[in-house]
Amino acid sequence: MYIDDSKPIDDINVTPMLDVAYVLLLIFIIMTTATVQGIMVNLPKASATPSLAKPQTKAVTIAQDGTIYLDTYPVTLQELESLLKQYKAVNPQLPVVVKADSQIAYQRVVDVLDIMGRLEISQLGLVTQRLVK
């Protein structure tokens, strides 16, 4: 096998250059994320109880068969009134949302709204569906 030494080498091996470029890129990424820590401050201490409590809004749903649900639990009208009375004792500004199926008897909705009136729940919402034109 004969190698021609008189011919100049005209191609460059870029593999080592790419290795160096990847290492430099990795170093720059690590250094950039390491230095973006922000300004050091002494943060105030919070109490042990979480400040973002569960939402206090209660949902009363009346299904198509007339079943009444408080959140996701089926209840009777008497149970609904006693449970809402307990929630109202804890939170006097208790917000309640009423969702009723459009096919149920209107009397069921009136019965539920009657309970809201007796318990003096002033933050009351009725859920409807937006009419699409």
Largest CA-CA distance found in the chain, in angstroms, rounded:
107
Model pLDDT, residue 78: 93
At 50-100, the pLDDT tens digits run 555 556 788 888 888 888 898 888 999 999 999 999 999 988 888 998 888
Structural domains counted in the chain: 1
Q: With respect to residue 114, please indicate whether it lies within any of the assigned structural domains.
A: yes
What CATH number should be reported for the domain holding residue 99? Answer: 3.30.420.270
The contacts of residue 100 (CB under 8 Å, 6+ apart) are: 61, 62, 108, 109, 112, 126
- Which of left, alpha, beta for 105 (phi over 0: left; psi -120 to 50: alpha)? beta
Q: With respect to residue 118, please indicate whether it lies within any of the assigned structural domains.
A: yes
Tell me the chain's radius of gyration from C-alpha atoms.
Answer: 34
pLDDT(49) > 70: no
pLDDT level of residue 132 (50, 70, 90 thresholds): low
pLDDT level of residue 20 (50, 70, 90 thresholds): very high
